[in-house]
């Protein structure tokens, strides 16, 4: 399965509700940073700061045999 691997601006599109995503957060107090957040209709969990971009999480790494 191919996944989107480029950042998507929240101004261009918002993700499906209830899933977790990799996000870039712009903060008043720190340089921009990357984290994981869940999106629910207009709200990004864990962040009062502003999420500017998002992308699907990568596939988990498969364990070594």
Question: Can you tell me the distance from the alpha carbon of 45 to that of 20, in angstroms, rounded to the nearest whole number?
Answer: 9
Residue 21, pLDDT score: 94
Which residues, 6+ apart, have CB-to-CB distance to 21 below 8 Å? Answer: 15, 36, 37, 38, 39, 54, 55, 56, 57
DSSP, collapsed to helix, strand or coil, labels residue 47 as coil
Ranges of residues in the chain whose predicted pLDDT is under 70: 1-4, 48, 64-65
Q: Specify the pTM.
A: 0.79
Q: How many CB atoms lie within 10 A of CB 21?
A: 19
Residue 30, pLDDT score: 84
């Amino acid at each position: 399965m191919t996944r989107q691997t480029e950042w998507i601006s929240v101004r261009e599109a918002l993700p499906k509700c209830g899933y977790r995503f990799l996000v870039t957060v712009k903060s008043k107090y720190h340089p921009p940073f990357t984290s994981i957040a869940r999106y629910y209709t207009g709200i990004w969990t864990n962040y009062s700061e502003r999420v500017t971009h998002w992308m699907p999480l990568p596939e988990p790494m498969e364990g070594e045999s």
